[in-house]
């Protein structure tokens, strides 16, 4: 078995060594979708947004994946610097350490995605299930990038978790789906295209190519940024 697979598996186990963390990774998306689905449509209308009940249910699955994956990636980077540097020094190298971290984050993001997807499917059905699955995973991937960047820049866990929450608040509630006034700026938010894709998938509409391209670009870009953040954390500084 290659060192990459062993290290990735260890990183996943590292996050799940507390059984409650796994329980929360499974339970929170379920409750998030079930509880928020019933109120997000009403909330969107109060803000002048356009979300209808079924679309609101769909987008709650994406938000669950985003918030959990972003927080996870943040703590992965911020709390692992010294261990990752030692692993890199011991022969794994910063690139393989970073790739292992990304693989572990994506594996955990996939767990959240699948749980949120299945809950959504059971709760309200999904017109285009595969599109929905891709869109929810895109939410997770984009926030893995955001969480990793915050983790590379902010070592204090309180400041870092607040910053991830701040980015999420701006992204989730300023998008054009949730408000009438932010349609211009809102289209530049990181999960704008993923939200369009997920809403369309939920109600069974076809998604325009621009949203597919947008999601692919932003998710891959976010993972590239996350890779750089993990690499920076694992890189061994030469002594001055």
Partner 1 sequence: MSTGLRAATRMALRDQRRRPLVSILIVLVPAYVILWSVAETKPTPRTIALPGGVWVTTTMRALHGPGMAELMVAFLAALLGVFVMRSALEGDRRLVLAGLPAHDAVLARITVLVAATVAAVLVSAGIMAMIFTPASWPPVIAALMLTGLIYGAIGALIGALLDKLAATYLILFLVMVDLGVVQSPMFHSVPVSAAWLLPGYPLDRLLYDGAFAHRFHATGALLLALGWLLAAALAVQVVLRRAVGLTTG
Tell me which residues touch partner 1 (CB under 8 A): 15, 18, 20-21, 24-25, 28, 31-32, 35-36, 38-39, 42-43, 45-48, 67-68, 71-72, 75, 79, 154, 156-159, 161-163, 165-166, 169-170, 173-174, 179-182
- Return the closest-CA partner of residue 131 out of 188, 193, 66, 182: 193
Q: Which DSSP symbol is given to 79? A: T
Q: Which is nearer to partner 1, 36 or 117 (CB)?
A: 36
Q: Minimum CB separation from partner 1 for residue 166, in Å?
A: 5
Cβ closer to partner 1: 141 or 167? 167
Query: CB of 66: closest distance to partner 1 in angstroms?
Result: 12
CB of 47 to partner 1, least distance (A): 5
C-beta of 156 vs 236, nearer to partner 1: 156
Other CB atoms closer than 10 Å to residue 185's CB: what's the count?
A: 12
- Say if CB 73 and CB 48 are below 8 A apart: no
User: Smallest distance from the beta carbon of 72 to partner 1, in angstroms?
Assistant: 7
**Which residues neighbour 183 within 8 Å (Cβ) at sequence distance 6 or greater?**
176
CA–CA distances in Å: residue 151 to residues 66, 144, 157, 176? 16, 10, 9, 28
Please give the angle made by the CA atoms of 48, 127 and 183, to the nearest 5 degrees. Answer: 25
To partner 1, the closest distance from the beta carbon of 209 in angstroms equals 30
User: Quick one: 173 or 192, whose CB is closer to partner 1?
Assistant: 173
Cβ closer to partner 1: 37 or 215?
Answer: 37
Rg (CA), the chain: 18
**Cα–Cα–Cα angle for 234, 97, 157, nearest 5°?**
50
Smallest separation, CB 196 to partner 1 (Å): 20
Helices (H), the chain: 3-16, 19-46, 53-78, 81-87, 94-124, 129-153, 157-174, 183-186, 192-203, 209-234
Helix (H, G, I), strand (E, B) or coil at 7: helix
Nearer Cβ to partner 1 (157/224): 157
């Amino acid at each position: 078995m290659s060192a990459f697979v062993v290290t990735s598996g260890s990183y996943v186990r590292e996050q799940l060594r507390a059984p409650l963390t796994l329980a929360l990774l499974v339970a929170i998306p379920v409750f998030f979708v079930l509880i928020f689905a019933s109120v997000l449509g009403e909330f969107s209308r109060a803000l002048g947004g356009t979300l209808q009940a079924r679309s609101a249910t769909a987008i709650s699955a994406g938000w669950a994946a985003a918030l959990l994956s972003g927080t996870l990636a943040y703590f992965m980077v911020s709390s692992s610097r010294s261990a990752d540097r030692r692993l890199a020094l011991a022969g794994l190298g910063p690139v393989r350490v970073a790739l292992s971290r990304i693989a572990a984050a994506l594996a955990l993001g996939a767990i959240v995605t699948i749980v949120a997807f299945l809950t959504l499917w059971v709760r309200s059905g999904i017109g285009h299930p595969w599109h929905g699955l891709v869109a929810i995973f895109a939410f997770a991937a984009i926030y893995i990038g955001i969480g990793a960047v915050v983790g590379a820049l902010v070592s204090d866990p309180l400041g870092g978790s607040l910053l991830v929450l701040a980015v999420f608040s701006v992204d989730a509630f300023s998008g054009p789906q949730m408000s009438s006034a932010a349609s211009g700026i809102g289209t530049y938010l990181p999960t704008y295209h993923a939200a369009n894709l997920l809403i369309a998938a939920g109600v069974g509409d076809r998604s325009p190519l621009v949203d597919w391209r947008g999601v692919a670009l932003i998710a891959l870009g976010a993972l590239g940024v996350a890779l750089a953040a993990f690499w920076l954390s694992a890189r061994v500084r030469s002594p001055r």
